[in-house]
């Protein structure tokens, strides 16, 4: 087992990995940018090292600085979390050059599956269904137009090296194809340094369903069932759940078998996710493979009882999976909601500021993964996700009810959040019926506006915070004795107008 791991990430995923390290008896080392100094996950780590700068490029993407700190801290391995360098094949390769274990798949597998074109070819080779389409490599634009007509419109042009919806354009006719193609290529080149694009038939009213896989270095690969991630805005997931409300046992078995087969052909090890789209007739098609831990991994952990983060580390040390597919079962239903500092009523504009009050929900079947606390600053430099709330129930209706209660109990003051928007989704009839596609938010939530009613719990939390804050200020005005501090910080001593008798 490793003695010390450096976490090349920040926020809630850094905190999640720290907890996994502690349970395994491993020292956790974190790095932090100037805006992240003082964040709770920095204090939670066994060791922390500063990075100069604020932007991602200056800090969490600076490989030279990361390896320098890894050498000083004398770590055995690096866990990349998700985002940043987690799917960077060059970084994984450089870890080996620095005698460090990269906690993830081999660099050659990251590179293979990171190319949508190569991953698509591998899927076809493995007998995994793919969306009808073609690879533009080596083809002239005139040839592509003719081939596009054969595939059939509407079409989707997407970057081979892309993700998150960048370098992706819908083309509805041959007349606009030659106009849109160079735009998609330029966006792909600007975003990913590669203008290679794929042409695929555009399928509307689809469901986004992914299969979690886990493989060890001995060639054993299992799946941990599916997650439904159809609730998306701009190709970014905001609600995920498992099991999928639309997947039948037959479809689940066929998709899982295809995912495991693809992973085996790729020589995959560690945690990974094979993403599919499912059309209205129940046919599924390979979309891509994410070679890292997913943001939504907690819903799989909740229904399977397996700790994915811990198993990532254990597999990286060479441990063999002690369970086979037939030993893995699922129980109940889990839902995850991503809490963002953003304003859904203003086109999801990020909300920057200080969390004057932050209170996470608790209770049976409620799990929260976060990287903030009261007083934490939400900066413009990173993703505005504050936390993930995950609930578990015996069935889907129970999980939804628990999520509604948890989100209403959650207090976030100082910035605008998407909590009211998430609650509106949870209460919407189509969502409750499990009848949602990737177009759901555009179709059912277009024009949504927040209610203007006063939330008494939020006002009470703000009042308590103000009283406590005043108490702290009074303490500094005293003569510095323990009695003064004790009296000044007691909110009841500041409430002369009433008493709870």
Judged by phi (left if over 0) then psi (alpha if -120 to 50, else beta), residue 326 lies in: alpha
Taking 70 as the pLDDT cut, the residues of the chain under it are 163-165, 452-501
Where does 75-206 show beta strands of DSSP type E?
77-79, 101-102, 133-135, 155-159, 168-171, 197-201
User: Which residues have a catalytic role annotated?
Assistant: 292
- What integer pLDDT is reported at residue 187 of this predicted model? 87
Residue 331 CA to chain centroid, in angstroms? Answer: 23
What per-residue confidence (pLDDT) applies to 475? Answer: 36
Q: pLDDT tens digits, residue range 118-174?
A: 999 999 999 999 999 988 888 888 888 888 899 999 999 988 887 666 778 999 998
Quick one: pLDDT at residue 44?
A: 98
Query: What is the pTM for the complete model shown?
Result: 0.87
What's the pLDDT at 480?
Answer: 38
Count the alpha carbons within 13 Å of 399 in the hemisphere toward its beta carbon. Answer: 29
pLDDT at 483: 39
pLDDT of residue 486: 37
User: Which residues make beta-bridge pairs with 339?
Assistant: 387
CA 137 to chain centre: 31
User: Distance (Å, rounded) from C-alpha 406 to C-alpha 389?
Assistant: 8
**Cα–Cα distance measured from residue 88 to residue 92, given in angstroms and rounded to the nearest whole number:** 6
Residue 146 has phi, psi (to 5 degrees) of: -65, -45
For residues 292 and 103, give the distance between their C-alpha atoms in angstroms, rounded to a whole number.
9
DSSP 479: -
- Region of 447 on the Ramachandran plot (φ > 0 left; ψ -120 to 50 alpha; else beta): left
User: Which pLDDT score is estimated for 166?
Assistant: 72
Which DSSP string do the residues of 481-497 spell out, in sequence order? Answer: -HHHHHHHT-GGGG-TT
pLDDT at residue 315 in the model: 98
> Tens digit of pLDDT for each residue in 201-218?
998 889 999 999 999 999
């Amino acid at each position: 087992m490793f003695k010390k791991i450096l976490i090349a990430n920040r926020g809630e995923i850094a905190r999640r990995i720290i907890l996994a390290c502690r349970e395994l008896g491993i020292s956790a080392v974190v790095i932090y940018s100037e805006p992240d100094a003082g964040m709770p996950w920095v204090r939670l780590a066994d060791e922390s090292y500063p990075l100069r700068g604020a932007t991602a490029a200056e800090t969490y993407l600076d490989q030279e600085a990361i390896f320098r700190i890894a050498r000083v801290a004398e770590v055995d391995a690096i866990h990349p979390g998700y985002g940043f360098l987690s799917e960077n094949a060059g970084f994984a390769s450089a870890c080996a050059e620095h005698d460090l274990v990269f906690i993830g798949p081999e660099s050659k597998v990251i590179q293979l599956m990171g190319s949508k074109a190569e991953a698509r070819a591998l899927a076809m080779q493995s007998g995994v269904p793919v969306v009808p389409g073609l690879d533009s490599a080596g083809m002239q634009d005139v040839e592509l137009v003719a081939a596009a007509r054969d595939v059939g419109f509407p079409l989707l042009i997407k970057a081979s090296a892309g993700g998150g919806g960048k370098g992706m354009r819908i083309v509805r006719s041959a007349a606009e194809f030659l106009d849109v193609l160079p735009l998609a290529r330029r966006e792909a080149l600007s975003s990913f340094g590669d203008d290679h694009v794929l042409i695929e038939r555009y399928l509307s009213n689809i469901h986004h369903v992914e299969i979690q896989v886990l493989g060890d270095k001995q060639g054993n690969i299992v799946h941990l069932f599916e997650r439904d991630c159809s609730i998306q805005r701009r190709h970014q997931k905001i609600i995920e759940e498992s099991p999928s409300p639309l997947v039948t046992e037959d479809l689940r078995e066929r998709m899982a078998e295809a995912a495991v087969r693809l992973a085996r052909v790729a020589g995959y090890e560690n945690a990974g996710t094979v993403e599919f789209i499912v059309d209205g007739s129940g046919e599924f098609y390979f979309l891509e493979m994410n070679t890292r831990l997913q943001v939504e991994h907690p819903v799989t952990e909740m229904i399977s009882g397996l700790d994915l983060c811990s198993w990532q580390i254990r597999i990286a040390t060479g441990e063999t999976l002690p369970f086979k597919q037939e030993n893995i079962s699922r129980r109940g239903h889990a839902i995850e909601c991503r809490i963002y500092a953003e304003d859904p009523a203003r086109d999801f504009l990020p909300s920057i500021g200080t969390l004057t009050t932050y209170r996470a929900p608790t209770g049976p079947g409620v799990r929260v993964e976060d990287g903030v606390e009261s007083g934490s600053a939400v900066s413009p430099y990173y993703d505005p996700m504050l936390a993930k709330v995950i609930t578990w129930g015996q069935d889907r209706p129970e999980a939804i009810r628990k999520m509604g209660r948890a989100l209403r109990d959650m207090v976030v003051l100082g910035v605008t959040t998407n909590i009211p928007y998430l609650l509106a989704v949870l209460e919407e009839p189509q969502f409750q019926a499990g009848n949602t596609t990737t177009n759901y938010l555009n179709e059912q939530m277009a024009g949504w506006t927040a209610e203007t009613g006063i939330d008494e719990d939020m006002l009470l939390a703000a009042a308590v915070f103000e009283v406590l804050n005043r108490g702290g200020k009074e303490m500094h005005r005293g003569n510095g004795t323990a009695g003064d501090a004790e009296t000044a910080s007691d909110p009841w001593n500041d409430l002369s107008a009433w008493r709870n008798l």
